[in-house]
Structure 1
């Protein structure tokens, strides 16, 4: 039984997989079992922020797991405490945080914080959360319901928790708030929704309004966090101070971790929330090293230089192929090209893989790029070269 047969026999059918067997990675280059190489413009959907096979992260993990991998949160975990301090300092916010294992779990934690805030702060219970259409907040029952995509609210998994509503535009939120609204939950750049950043002025205006109304602003930075947009948080880039921020993906650079941080540092009491695996020695050691590496790259100018180079090459690629693409979108190393139609987008992704470059789909018509933040100029050049060859075969 080969790998594909084994997978199809024993793994639940939740992904339309491409049956390549990657066996090694070096920064933004992957190798399969036949030693074919691929330029990775996906980083595992924005996860492997420090690149594949990063020696510093591998060494930090190896050293840690030879001693302790896990003891549970019944005891103090040194790398967890250090990571919390590091994230607070890098965010430049006065926050405390809880560590989970994924973005969906982080968003669940954010919703629980908001619900407790609404229960304990006001005489009349507040529990409703407003999100936006085309948003994506996770795949648990609650975060699916928080996601503003009707296609994800199928009867297969109903009934869903109540208390969630969706607006098409930011400006619609103002009139949707009622006496039971406790929070507004947003992505500053909608990832699954098409790599669409929101205007800075509109976000700042909304943040100020919510603050006046004592309604919490939750910013989902599962994909935008950990320097993906050029700053540690997109919230820093937008110059706002949310009440709750969630992170995951690139924070651990490949090791599963989720983070929910809040300015309401005393909101939870023992027993309110928990996680057996969350914030263990393995995940927080990896995340601490990843955050340190990325902070160094930001401070010495390497990250900004990489972002500028990728942006320049992406724009050149777009301008050479305006017969296929209609726009360039995104921020930092979270980028997209609007494709003229969904059928062409699907064909590009398939042909790109055949040419040895990995790219992603976002929304209905966006070719998405989430390369490792450590990607080299040579890998960027080779990736676009291969993507150009893919377009020639359409």
Structure 2
């Protein structure tokens, strides 16, 4: 039995896989069992923020694994405290953190914070949370219901109630009633088509919600940890949310999620928890990732690469106007909007044939989430292969 047969027989079919067996990676380049190289413009769906095979991260993980991997949150965890302090300092927000294992868990934690905030004298007064259509907040039952895509809700009900979906930011005020406790948004909708929100509209909404004592939750699972060029997209949009969620790129590949909140004393012991969340291994890895990326940002190299990558994608959008409507996104969270879903699938498949890894997103968008440490040479090689794929597709 070969590896593909083994996967098909024993693993649940929740992903339509490409059956390539990667053996190792170097930064934004992966190598299969035949040693063929692939340019990775996906970074494991925005996770491998400091690239594949990063020695500094590997050394930190190895060093920690030799000492303590896990002890539980019943005891002090040194790298957890150091990571929380680092994230607060770099964000510029006066907050405390809770650590989980994923973005969905982080969003569940954010929802629980909001729901508890809505209680008065142990009685639930406000519980409704407004989210946006085309949003994506995770695969757990509550996070899935928070996701404003009806297609995602098939099969899995009944769901927890209390979620209301707005078409856009401008519609949100009209949906608020006496039971509304929070609004939850992505500043750039990833699964929803790499669609950035308008900065002025976000700022006006944040100001309005503060006046109404309604919490603003910003889901930064994909946009956070320098993906948009700043530590947080919230920094880029110049707002101060009440709650922020993180995951994906935070651990560089080691599973970790986090909830940041200005509501420092909202939980008491026993209100929330996680067996694995924030353990020694994940927080030591994340601390190394954050330190590396902060240094990289300070050097100016991150911004330079992001500008270079954006220029390359804009050239493609212009040069292949018969395929693409426009280029979208911010930083290293970018997309090319294809003219149809059929074209979108053909582009992704043809790119894979040329050994370039890219992603699908909503609104017929071809999504690019390269490692933040991608080199100019890797960008050039990946873009050249991608162009070859497009030429073949249109010839």
Query: Is TM-score (shorter-chain normalized) higher than 0.5?
Result: yes
Q: Normalising to structure 1: TM-score of the pair?
A: 0.99
Query: Residue 121 of structure 1: CA displacement?
Result: 7.5
Q: For residue 19 of structure 2, what is the aligned residue in structure 1?
A: 19
Query: Residue 315 of structure 1: CA displacement?
Result: 1.2
Q: Give the distance between the partners of 1:86 and 1:37, measured in 2 at CA.
A: 36
**Runs of at least 5 residues in structure 1 that lack an aligned partner in the other structure:** none
Q: For residue 100 of structure 1, what is the aligned residue in structure 2?
A: 100
Check the 8 A contact 2:51/2:372 in 1, yes or no. yes
Q: Give the distance between the partners of 2:359 and 2:181, measured in 1 at CA.
A: 34
Q: For residue 244 of structure 1, what is the aligned residue in structure 2?
A: 243
| Structure-to-structure mapping, 1:179-328, within 5 angstroms | 179-328=178-327
Q: Give the distance between the partners of 2:152 and 2:364, measured in 1 at CA.
A: 18
Which stretch of the first structure deviates more once superposed, 307-316 or 135-144? 307-316
| Structure-to-structure mapping, 1:1-394, within 5 angstroms | 1-120=1-120, 125-154=125-154, 156-394=155-393
For 1:158-204, what per-residue CA distance to the aligned partner results, in whole angstroms no more than 9, with x for missing partners?
10000001011111100100000000000000000000001100000
Report the CA distance shift for 1:26/1:75 in structure 2 as closer, same or farther (over 3 A). Answer: same
For 1:129-161, what per-residue CA distance to the aligned partner results, in whole angstroms no more than 9, with x for missing partners?
00000000000000000000000111x211000
Check the 8 A contact 2:218/2:241 in 1, yes or no. yes
Query: Residue 122 of structure 1: CA displacement?
Result: 9.4
Q: Give the distance between the partners of 1:177 and 1:329, measured in 2 at CA.
A: 30
For 1:29-75, what per-residue CA distance to the aligned partner results, in whole angstroms no more than 9, with x for missing partners?
00001101000000000000000000000000000000110000000
Describe the SS at the equivalent of 2:118: helix
Describe the SS at the equivalent of 1:157: coil
Q: Give the distance between the partners of 2:363 and 2:18, measured in 1 at CA.
A: 20
Q: Give the distance between the partners of 2:392 and 2:121, measured in 1 at CA.
A: 60
Query: Residue 88 of structure 1: CA displacement?
Result: 0.5
Describe the SS at the equivalent of 1:282: helix
Query: Residue 322 of structure 1: CA displacement?
Result: 1.1
Report the CA distance shift for 1:115/1:286 in structure 2 as closer, same or farther (over 3 A). Answer: same
Describe the SS at the equivalent of 2:119: helix
Check the 8 A contact 2:337/2:363 in 1, yes or no. no
Q: Give the distance between the partners of 1:252 and 1:124, measured in 2 at CA.
A: 36
For 1:224-245, what per-residue CA distance to the aligned partner results, in whole angstroms no more than 9, with x for missing partners?
0000000000000000000000
Q: Give the distance between the partners of 2:310 and 2:235, measured in 1 at CA.
A: 20
Query: Residue 123 of structure 1: CA displacement?
Result: 7.4
Report the CA distance shift for 1:121/1:53 in structure 2 as closer, same or farther (over 3 A). Answer: farther
Report the CA distance shift for 1:349/1:121 in structure 2 as closer, same or farther (over 3 A). Answer: farther
Describe the SS at the equivalent of 2:267: coil
Describe the SS at the equivalent of 1:385: helix
Query: Residue 298 of structure 1: CA displacement?
Result: 0.6
Describe the SS at the equivalent of 2:304: helix
Describe the SS at the equivalent of 1:158: coil
Query: Residue 392 of structure 1: CA displacement?
Result: 1.9
Q: Give the distance between the partners of 1:194 and 1:123, measured in 2 at CA.
A: 39
Report the CA distance shift for 1:121/1:134 in structure 2 as closer, same or farther (over 3 A). Answer: farther
Query: Residue 364 of structure 1: CA displacement?
Result: 3.6
Query: Residue 314 of structure 1: CA displacement?
Result: 1.2
Check the 8 A contact 2:79/2:283 in 1, yes or no. yes
Q: Give the distance between the partners of 1:368 and 1:53, measured in 2 at CA.
A: 23
Describe the SS at the equivalent of 2:25: strand
Query: Residue 120 of structure 1: CA displacement?
Result: 3.5
